[in-house]
Amino acid sequence: MVWIHTFGVPTLPALRALAMVAAARMAGRPAVVHLHAFGLERSVARGGRSLRLAVRALVALADAVVVVHEEAAQALRSISGTAPVHVLNNWVEVPAELEAAPEQPPLRLVFVGGIVRRKGGPQLIEAMRALDGVPVELRMVGGAGEDGMGALKELQAGAGDLVATGRVAFTGEMDAAGVRAELRAAHVFVLPSEAEGMPIAMLEAMAEGRAVLVTDAGNMRPVVEDTGCGWVLPDRQPATIAAFVRRIADDPGALAAASAAAWRATAARYSATAQRHRIDAVLASLRKR
């Protein structure tokens, strides 16, 4: 069996994955295509004819297709009929016990990922300006991402006054252990993104028992609504982000409840053990072909 991990969109990654599937089939090996693209459902809906044809051919030729959330699966089924599309949620390691969050104030926010406009980096900085006088700190964990180093340096320079007063910190990229330590040191994970799949960083924050403040992108809204692990922003405007942060800072009981729900949900739904039945379903579908 060949298990191919790919973004799958736009057209060029889809064609590359298609070539790998064809090679596997020629070698007599079943091929599973695991699509990780952020905003996959939006790309399929809005993509041109060439993209839709490439994705339809990819789904048809693969022995099984795996996506990370149900919305993406529905998008693929809409253009490929009865092709075997499985949902296999991302999963993370979950600590056996919940570590208590730091004392407040201040309320500590943490962002993990590429510090880019798509993920809401500039919006978070502007939200921090709107929170002047509120005891809140923001740590930005990550590198330049798709916007490039020039954009990151410009953002950092513009936030120089916030950095100087300790309200904002840019940590740079970190290894897995460093990221987990940053999550444990925070109270709330924030990701005001416009396009996601099922973010590993969000699941890792939940695994550490940290509430999340996110947008309706990818699978984030269903995760929050199904588990009670945090709040979903109605938009990405800095004023909206700031208003939600004020509300969280003023209600420690709600924060504690969301944090505990996050840890419980990750253990029950987003650990390797919890996803084992979905993996078994993919493998079983191969044996039936």
Q: Are residues 134 and 191 in the same domain?
A: yes
Confidence (pLDDT) at 221:
95
| CA dihedral sign of residues 20, 21, 25, 31 | positive
Sign of CA dihedral 221, 88, 109, 93: positive
The model's confidence at residue 5, banded by pLDDT at 50, 70 and 90, is very high
The domain of 48 spans: 2-89+272-288
Separation CA 192–CA 186 (nearest Å): 17
Q: What is the pLDDT of residue 168?
A: 98
Q: Is 98 within the bounds of a domain?
A: no
User: Peptide bond before 10: cis, by omega within 30 degrees of 0?
Assistant: yes
Same domain, 71 and 200: no
Question: Do residue 201 and residue 279 come from a single domain?
Answer: no
Cα–Cα nearest to 170, from 185, 178, 160: 160
Domain identity same for 249 and 276: no
pLDDT, averaged across the chain: 92
Q: In Å, what is the CA distance from 282 to each residue of 30, 66, 277?
A: 12, 8, 9
**Rounded to the nearest 5°, which phi and psi values hold at 222?**
-60, -35
Say how far apart CA 95 and CA 149 lie, in whole Å. Answer: 34
Q: Examine residue 102 and state whether it is found in any structural domain, yes or no.
A: no
- Residue 13: per-residue pLDDT: 85
Q: Cα–Cα distance between 70 and 283 in angstroms, integer?
A: 19
User: Are 61 and 133 part of one and the same domain?
Assistant: no
pLDDT value at 47 more than 80: no
176 is a domain residue: yes
CATH of the domain at 171: 3.40.50.2000
Residues 224 and 256 in one domain: yes
Which of 268, 131, 244, 250 lies closest to 189 in space, CA to CA?
244
Total domains in the chain come to 2
- Both 264 and 146 in one domain: the answer is yes
Are 82 and 207 contained in the same domain? no
Does residue 101 fall inside a structural domain?
no
Query: Distance from first CA to last CA of the chain, Å, rounded?
Result: 13
Contact 203, 90 (CB under 8 A): yes
pTM for this structure? 0.90
| pLDDT at site 38 | 77
- Amino acid (1-letter code) at residue 203: L
Q: Are residues 227 and 129 in the same domain?
A: yes
